[in-house]
Amino acid sequence: MLGQAGEFGEVGPAIAFLAALVLAFGPGARGLTWIVDRVRDAVPFGDDPRYKIVWPLLAFVIALLIVFGWDVNLVGALGDAVPGLKDSAALDGWLGQLLTAFGLAGFASSWHDRDVAKNPPTA
């Protein structure tokens, strides 16, 4: 198994943790990107580069509403899979939820940038 020391040595659990982060955050971030892009399309200043900071902040606010509204804590759950963090309770509360919101918003921003690079807007 990837999370066990073996052919990957001592970095096996770290590789498993990073792979789990991508798998856990990916679908949620893709949905968050879709929501922010619909809001961006609905407002008249959506493509104005002066307001570029608004969209990652909006993604973060929506992610905060999701993680605190539905008590989602992906970071705490994934932290339990890492042997060094298993006994730590620091990520099980609101800090883990806050880091989950940061992760979702950051991943969503990355998805948006990738989509724009693949399909540049026509003016």
pLDDT in tens, 31-74: 999 999 899 889 988 778 888 899 999 999 999 999 999 988 88
Is 5 a member of any domain? no
Query: What pLDDT, in 10s, does the model give residues 67-93?
Result: 999 988 888 877 776 767 777 777 788
Query: If you compute the radius of gyration of the chain from its CA atoms, what whole number of angstroms results?
Result: 17
Q: Long-range contact list for 34-37, CB < 8 A, 24+ apart?
A: 35/62, 36/62, 36/108, 36/112, 37/112, 37/115
Return the number of other C-beta atoms located less than 10 Å from residue 107's C-beta: 22
The residue with tokens 């989602």 is: 72
Domain residue limits at 98: 25-118
Is 17 a member of any domain? no
Q: What is the pTM of this model?
A: 0.77
Is 123 a member of any domain? no
Is 37 a member of any domain? yes
- Rounded to 5 degrees, what are φ and ψ at 122? -100, 130
Is 29 a member of any domain? yes
Is 75 a member of any domain? yes
Number of domains present in the structure of the chain: 1
Is 40 a member of any domain? yes
